[in-house]
Amino acid sequence: MRKILFCMIAIVAFVSLGKTASAQYENEDLIRIYRWLNTVDNNYVTLADGEIQEGQLLQWKYKEKTLLFYAYKTPGPDRVAVYRWTNPVTKDQSSIAEDEVSDSDMMQKGYTLKSLQFYVPIRRATNHIAIYRWYKSRSKDWVTIPEFGDTDKFWDKGYKMKTFQFYGIMRNEYEK
């Protein structure tokens, strides 16, 4: 009796693991996108998971890690590339979608070190959320905020000039 019960439990566990593995396989192209705050420069940065090691970010005095949305790791149909630009003078880092702002305009504003971050959908669909960029003119800082983000907090900090950027992917309702 115990052998039969053990075999049945083992079969159920094996089938469950197989389904979990196939579900992860279907979504292996998705990557988490986070926002971090640098407490020294009081600037926000948007980073893909693993883009910069978390230990290094903590050493550079980044905190308030916040999950914003999911994006794609690879290019594909109806996707656009997002690049991180760095301004060495203001120490600001901004995530800009391809063709959102021209490279020459970014360089005129003092941004350099353009690097590919991730890919995002170009159209709204089920489970997609609008992503906005807010600007704080005093510190010349950009912050990425999803449509359901805590906009009052950023408004109170002086961020205004809300601009639509692109769409992100929301994995499930519990991650809002």
In order along its 176 residues, the chain shows pLDDT tens digits of: 556 655 555 565 655 555 444 333 457 889 999 999 998 888 889 999 999 899 899 999 999 899 999 999 999 999 999 999 998 888 888 999 998 889 999 999 899 999 999 999 998 888 899 999 888 888 778 888 898 877 778 888 888 888 899 999 987 544 44
Round to whole Å and give the CA distance between 16 and 9. Answer: 11
As a dihedral over the C-alpha atoms of residue 76, residue 80, residue 82, residue 83, rounded to 10 degrees, the angle is 90
Instruction: Break the chain into its structural domains and give their ranges.
Output: 29-175
Q: Model-level pTM?
A: 0.77
Instruction: Tell me the backbone φ, ψ of residue 6, rounded to 5 degrees.
Output: -60, -45
Instruction: Burial-class residue 127 by CB neighbours within 10 Å (0-12, 13-18, 19+).
Output: middle
Round to whole Å and give the CA distance between 75 and 62. Answer: 29
